[in-house]
């Protein structure tokens, strides 16, 4: 479906030392798993990708020969609902005196997004960042105070202020600071262009540049920023595109 993360598994007829691929214009570096004897990689399908068949091109290097293969993958259309939300007017039409805050936040996010490692830092499954029910599904058209402003590009966890928030997988903290719309925000780089984002926090438990392990406490939930109340907004960004976090949490990499 468009707006989803997918796990690609490849079994090759001959032994390879390296396997790479290209899907939807993105270069993919596959990892080998001894548990399944297969190669695997995460890829993303943007919200703007039209339904249809797309080619996955694979290229492998072996001890004595190279190999290539093309496979057609069908992408379907996901259907996203609409919701109406009431927030403080300053978060719908921000006054002039907060524009410097918004601009500073935009600069901080651009810097974080540009400082990513090409190597994978994650392993195994991505676990939920909090133990709670979810709401506010990804892709929902958001109408704030009667004005359509954006799509909801994350997944909300129903938690009260002070609930522990954990890293969904291993990575590096590339941002941990207050932002205007996102409130107190933590971003983790998991390598190869994959980022997880945790918003509206009440307290930070990590610092920028810190390496974190899967499941490590990184923050406490809250209701800061453009929020109707305490909750955890969890987002996933893959190579510049926001994708459905629920699909990341559903992936089962080999050995997990």
Which domains, ranges and CATH numbers included, belong to the chain? Answer: 4-75 (2.60.40), 82-249 (2.70.70.10)
Structure tokens at 163: 């609930």
Structure tokens at 56: 């996955």
- pLDDT tens for 180-232 read 999 999 999 999 999 999 999 999 999 999 999 999 999 999 999 988 899 99
Which residues, other chains included, contact 151 with Cβ-Cβ below 8 Å and sequence gap of 6+? 47, 80, 139, 140, 141, 142
Which range of 36-40, 103-107, 162-166 scores highest in mean pLDDT? It is 162-166
Distance (Å, rounded) from C-alpha 73 to C-alpha 58? 13
- pLDDT tens for 105-158 read 999 999 999 978 999 999 999 999 999 999 877 877 656 555 555 677 899 999
**Predicted model pTM:** 0.90
In this structure, how many other beta carbons lie within 10 angstroms of the beta carbon of residue 137? Answer: 16
Alpha helices in 8-117 (DSSP H): 99-113
The confidence score (pLDDT) of residue 136 equals 72
The confidence score (pLDDT) of residue 105 equals 92
What whole-number percentage of the chain has pLDDT above 70?
A: 92
Running DSSP on this structure, what letter comes out for residue 222?
B
- Nearest 10 degrees: CA dihedral of 215, 219, 225, 231? 60
Distance (Å, rounded) from C-alpha 175 to C-alpha 204? 11
Predicted confidence band of residue 77 (pLDDT cuts 50, 70, 90)? confident
Q: How confident is the prediction for the chain on average, in pLDDT?
A: 90
- pLDDT tens for 8-21 read 999 988 889 999 99
3-class secondary structure, 36: coil
């Amino acid at each position: 479906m468009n707006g989803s993360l997918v796990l690609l598994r490849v079994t090759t007829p001959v032994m390879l030392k390296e396997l790479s691929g290209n899907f939807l214009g993105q270069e993919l570096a596959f990892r080998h798993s001894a548990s399944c004897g297969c190669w695997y990689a995460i890829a993303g399908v943007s919200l703007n990708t039209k339904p249809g068949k797309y080619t996955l091109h694979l290229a492998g290097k072996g001890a004595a020969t190279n190999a290539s293969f093309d496979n057609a993958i069908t992408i379907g259309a996901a259907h996203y609902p609409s919701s109406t939300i009431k927030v403080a007017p300053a978060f719908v039409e921000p006054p002039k005196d907060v524009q410097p805050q918004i601009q500073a936040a935009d600069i901080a996010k651009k810097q974080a997004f540009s400082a990513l490692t090409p190597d994978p830092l994650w392993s195994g499954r991505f676990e939920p960042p909090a133990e709670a029910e979810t709401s506010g599904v990804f892709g929902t058209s958001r109408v704030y105070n009667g004005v359509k402003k954006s799509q909801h590009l994350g997944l909300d966890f129903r938690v009260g202020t002070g609930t522990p928030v954990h890293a969904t997988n291993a990575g590096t903290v590339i941002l941990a600071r207050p932002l205007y719309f996102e409130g107190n925000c933590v971003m983790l780089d998991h390598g190869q262009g994959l980022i997880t984002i945790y918003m509206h926090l009440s307290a930070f438990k990590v610092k920028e540049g810190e390496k974190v392990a899967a499941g490590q406490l990184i923050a406490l939930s809250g209701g800061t920023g453009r929020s109707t109340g305490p909750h955890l907004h969890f987002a996933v960004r893959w190579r510049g595109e926001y994708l459905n976090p629920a699909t990341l949490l559903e992936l089962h990499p080999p050995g997990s």
